[in-house]
């Protein structure tokens, strides 16, 4: 199967399973600012993506406790020497809200991040720029965010897609993409499992 992916780290895993892999960059991450983040006045800093984790680490953060939306984000934080105090069992903002103890929270995320679920103040770490590459050719595409879904649809590509989670699924369906599977766990392992189940 020819699988279109947006990140290089999926390539060796899928090639090892016998798939042909095409990398198609759909988004670019532009940092917003360089100043350190002082979250010492908050009980929690909430991080909802690997990109957010990288930016938080790059800028430097003073935090009491850090909550990561899922294992991939937690791994990225730990790789940069940041302690993770909470990863919810369900890797969505709703799952995080259900498990986050009471306290004052700061959501550190993308400029256009969804803010309707968590009761938190907000700091924008980066903006996501949707790119306009030529339409990729493949049997299946992997989407890891709503912005990737919008960018893929804008290319005119009409190949079936796998979404990393429910929010990405919603965005993909809203722009007319055919979602054939959603990762059971909202991480790269879940994506690989979903592809394997379709192969």
CA atoms within 13 A on the CB side of 12: 1
For each of the chain's 199 residues, which pLDDT tens digit applies?
999 999 898 999 999 999 999 999 999 999 999 999 999 999 999 999 989 999 999 999 999 999 999 888 999 999 999 999 999 998 888 999 999 999 999 999 988 888 888 999 999 999 999 999 999 999 999 999 889 999 999 999 989 999 998 889 999 999 999 999 999 888 888 999 999 998 6
CATH 3.40.50.10090 fits 30-128, yes or no: yes
Distance CA 103, CA 19 (A): 46
pLDDT for 114 equals 81
Residues 167 and 22: their CA atoms lie apart, in Å, by: 24
CATH 3.40.50.10090: does it fit domain 2-26+131-198? yes
Q: What is the DSSP code (8-state) at residue 8?
A: G
Residue 137's Cβ-count burial label (10 Å; 0-12, 13-18, 19+) is exposed
CATH 3.40.50.10090 domain residues, the chain: 2-26+131-198, 30-128
Nearest alpha carbon to residue 165 among 28, 48, 22: 48
Alpha helices per DSSP H over 17-91: 50-59, 71-79
pTM of the model: 0.80
């Amino acid at each position: 199967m020819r699988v279109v992916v947006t990140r290089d780290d999926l390539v060796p895993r899928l090639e090892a399973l016998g798939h042909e892999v095409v990398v198609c960059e759909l988004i670019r991450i532009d940092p917003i600012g360089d100043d350190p983040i002082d979250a010492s006045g908050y009980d929690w800093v909430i991080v909802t993506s690997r990109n957010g984790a990288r930016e938080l680490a790059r800028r430097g953060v003073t935090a009491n406790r850090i909550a990561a939306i899922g294992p991939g984000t937690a791994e990225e934080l730990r790789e940069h020497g940041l302690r993770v105090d909470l990863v919810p069992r369900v890797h969505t903002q709703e799952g995080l809200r259900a498990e986050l103890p009471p306290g004052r929270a700061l959501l550190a995320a993308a400029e256009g991040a969804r803010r309707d679920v968590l009761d938190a103040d907000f700091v924008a770490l980066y903006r996501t720029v949707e790119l306009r590459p030529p339409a990729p050719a493949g049997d299946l595409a992997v989407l890891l965010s709503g912005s990737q879904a919008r960018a893929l649809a804008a290319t005119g590509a009409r190949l079936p897609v796998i979404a990393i989670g429910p929010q990405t699924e919603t965005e993909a369906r809203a722009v007319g993409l055919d979602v054939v599977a959603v990762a059971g766990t909202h991480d790269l392992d879940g994506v690989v499992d979903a592809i394997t189940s379709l192969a």
